[in-house]
Amino acid sequence: MDWRWRLVFAVLLAALLALQYRLWVGEGSLAEVSSLKRQMLRQQAELAAMRERNDSLRAEVEDLKQGLEAVEARARNELGMIREGETFFQVLEPEPQPESDPQ
């Protein structure tokens, strides 16, 4: 009966090692779960930023649909348009003059 106990012990030890391998390295392991949690947190942060951007764009679209003031402001800023009867003044900064070498 001594060899049977050794066989049972060897089978149990092999099962334990197989389960430990799956726990630490195999599919669904603790390392994989940890990696997936980190990936999920990154994606949630990215999703929150995208939702914020979408809300901003949605508000801008609504503003452009509802009022002409937003359209006018955008035309002035992005296209340089002016109203009829307005005078456009463009102020240019002076270009820096090259320093002359006093010799």
Is there a domain that residue 95 lies in?
no
Separation CA 72–CA 69 (nearest Å): 5
Q: What is the DSSP letter of 27?
A: T
Within a domain: residue 11? yes
**pLDDT for the residue numbered 20:** 81
Residue 56 lies in a domain: yes
Instruction: List the alpha helices (DSSP H) in the chain.
Output: 2-24, 30-66, 68-79
Of 38, 14, 41, 42, which Cα lies nearest the Cα of 30? 38
The tokens for 74 are 């955008």
Query: Is residue 36 in a domain?
Result: yes
Q: Quick check: is 87 in a domain?
A: no
Full domain range(s) for residue 12: 7-79
Alpha-carbon span 64 to 57, nearest angstrom: 10
Per-residue pLDDT reduced to its tens digit, 57-94: 998 888 778 878 877 887 887 887 888 888 877 788 88
pLDDT at 41: 96
Q: Kindly report the pTM of this predicted structure.
A: 0.47
Of the pLDDT bands very low, low, confident and very high (cuts 50, 70, 90), residue 55 is: very high
Domain count, the chain: 1
